[in-house]
Structure 1
Amino acid sequence: MTSPQGARPRGGALRLTVFLTESDRWEHRPLSTEIVHRAHTAGLAGATVFRGIEGYGASSVVHTARLLSLSEDLPVTVVIVDAEERVRAFLPLLGAVTGERLVTLEPVEVLPPGPAPEGGA
């Protein structure tokens, strides 16, 4: 299953998720922005940034929107879904900016647009 540059993948695909915080930077701009721009330049089907309201990671420090003192460093995830070969080809570009941050890969099934297929979601 290959998809032309920027086209939506069909069937089996790979979801790449990068776990960050709002304070993570790459050359004075948010790291999430850098990842989205690199994914776009690489021609991946799409990338989305999600801002969390609470979370913790390897540092064991809880970041939450409920406490004003910690609300400036909330969790952020960048999610990219595309054909496996395209996502794997992107990993070296991603690794150059993510360092020791958590990155996961998961197989996913991309449904065609329109009503859900018979017998399931």
Structure 2
Amino acid sequence: MAVKISGEALRLRIFIGEDARWHHKPLYHAIVLKAREMGMAGATVMRALEGFGPTSRIHTVNLLDLSSDMPILVEIVDSKEYVEKFLPVLDTMVDAGLITIDPVKVVKYTHNQTNDPHIDRDNSQ
């Protein structure tokens, strides 16, 4: 059975620094791998052009003030059940950052290959 999400869901947003690590891997990559392992619907990683966090230090791609630790956003949309199962895992992985949850309405979520083992929630639970 393929993942099907429609109607009410949650959007999980994880704001971290590009230099953050988890077991010698970039943290954003480790989060994506863990979300996939836990059978979540999908994850997207976005690198920001500029931002600041609790230290108020500006991180930017401006050549005059180049920062290697750019802001990273990992975004996941899934059912309340799956997001709530993932939160304790994130708590152990994210030492510094911001995690938010927003209610969203899924209008369409499709996949054209129903045999993909990575979207079969029956095999990943």
What TM-score does the superposition give when structure 2 sets the normalisation length?
0.81
Distance 1:100 1:22 in 2: 11
> What one-letter code is carried by the residue in structure 2 that aligns with 1:62?
I
> What one-letter code is carried by the residue in structure 1 that aligns with 2:53?
G
> What one-letter code is carried by the residue in structure 1 that aligns with 2:80?
E
Q: Superposed, which structure 2 residues align to 1:1-121 within 5 Å? A: 7-67=3-63, 69-112=65-108
Which residue matches 1:118? none
Q: Shift of residue 113 of structure 1? A: 5.6
> What one-letter code is carried by the residue in structure 2 that aligns with 1:26?
W
Aligned residues: 110
Select the structure that is richer in helix. 2
Taking CA–CA contacts closer than 8 Å with sequence separation of 6 or more, which of the two structures ends up with the larger relative contact order?
2
Distance 1:73 1:100 in 2: 13
SS at 2:100 equivalent: strand
SS at 1:79 equivalent: strand
Q: Which structure 1 residue ranges, 5 or more long, are not aligned?
A: 115-121
Q: Shift of residue 85 of structure 1? A: 1.1
Q: Shift of residue 99 of structure 1? A: 2.5
Distance 2:82 2:93 in 1: 18
- Runs of 4 or more, structure 1, over 4 Å off, are none
Identity %: 45
Q: Shift of residue 68 of structure 1? A: 5.3
SS at 2:30 equivalent: helix
